[in-house]
């Protein structure tokens, strides 16, 4: 059994989540519901849960501030939130899980399943990435957490050469000829890296423009990357690429 605590300032939302867990996730035992963020800090310290469902938008303390008060983190965390662009981007960047309200049953089951089978010695690093990213949303954080088929990899962003779509996965090509298969779509990766110097040059390829050696003109054109690979540029994305490569023209 996974011992869990639900923290949400809306009593109806926390009770609804507890009901869903009881019905669809019998491996989770909800030890307590808490509707006050300040009391939640004390409760988590006392109960020492393995999993915390944590609302982000709460009065007095938001979910991230609760985590900071509980550091170092020794439990898994699944965030619950209404849409919050910066919060969701921070969570994705650290490869942690979140559920949008109202909570979808299948998404809940998938998130709990990941917790059940997870072996994460890097949890503290993920939390550090999350808080750094949340506090500095306009500042480029130099590391990113990526969920792979074998677990989790935390890598420097500047080691990424390009990313290729593969169904619901993305294949990362890194420096030193290393490849990673990531369980995220290319669209999600594009959103995560949009403020870095990355550009979608084709519907199935996102490139690090700092790693482009040469652009050859054509209908769309071709990029020669620093590892010798050639990447086709779609005609529809050619103009955006040239603006990036030659910003003053």
What pLDDT is attached to residue 18? 96
Convert the pLDDT of each residue in 79-123 to its tens digit. 998 866 667 777 877 878 889 888 999 999 988 988 765 555 567
**Mean pLDDT for the chain?**
87
The pLDDT > 90 percentage for the chain reads 53
At 176 the pLDDT is 85
Higher pLDDT, 128 or 66: 66
35-59 residue pLDDT tens: 999 899 999 999 999 999 999 888 8
Supply the pLDDT for residue 86.
67
Q: Alpha-carbon distance 212 to 200, whole Å?
A: 13
176 near 162, Cβ under 8 Å? no
Let me know how many helices (H) and strands (E) the chain has, helices first: 8, 15
pLDDT at 23: 95
Highest-scoring range by mean pLDDT, 64-78, 141-155, 226-240: 226-240
What pLDDT is attached to residue 191? 86
Check whether 141 has a pLDDT greater than 80: no
According to the model, what pLDDT value does residue 88 have?
Answer: 79
Q: What is the structure's pLDDT at 138?
A: 56
Q: What is the pLDDT of residue 145?
A: 83
pLDDT digits (tens, 9 = 90+) for 163-181: 999 988 999 999 988 999 9
pLDDT of residue 160: 96
Q: What angle do CA 177, 181, 182 make, to 5 degrees?
A: 130
pLDDT tens-digit map of 200-246: 999 999 999 999 999 998 888 999 999 999 999 999 999 999 998 88
Residue 13 near residue 33 (C-beta atoms within 8 A):
no
């Amino acid at each position: 059994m996974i011992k869990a605590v639900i923290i949400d300032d809306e009593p109806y939302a926390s009770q609804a989540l507890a009901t869903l867990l009881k019905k669809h996730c019998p491996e989770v035992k909800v030890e307590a519901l808490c509707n006050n963020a300040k009391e939640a800090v004390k409760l988590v310290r006392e109960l020492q849960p393995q999993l915390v469902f944590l609302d982000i938008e709460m009065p007095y303390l938001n979910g991230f501030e609760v985590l900071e008060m509980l550091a170092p983190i020794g439990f898994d965390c699944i965030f619950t939130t209404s849409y919050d662009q910066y919060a969701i981007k921070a969570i994705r960047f650290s490869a942690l899980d979140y559920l949008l309200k109202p909570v979808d049953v299948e998404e809940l089951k998938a998130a709990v399943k990941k917790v059940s089978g997870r072996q994460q010695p890097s949890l503290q690093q993920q939390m550090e990435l999350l808080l750094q990213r949340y506090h500095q949303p306009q500042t480029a954080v130099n590391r990113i957490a990526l969920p792979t088929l074998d677990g989790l990899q935390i890598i420097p962003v500047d080691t990424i050469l390009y990313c290729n779509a593969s169904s619901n996965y993305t294949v990362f090509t890194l420096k030193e000829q290393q490849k990673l298969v990531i369980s995220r779509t290319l669209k999600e990766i594009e959103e995560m890296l949009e403020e870095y110097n990355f550009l979608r040059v084709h519907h199935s390829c996102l490139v690090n423009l700092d790693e482009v050696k040469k652009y050859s003109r054509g209908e769309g054109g071709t990029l020669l990357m620093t590892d010798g690979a050639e990447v086709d540029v779609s005609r529809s994305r050619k103009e955006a690429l040239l603006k990036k490569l030659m910003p003053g023209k």
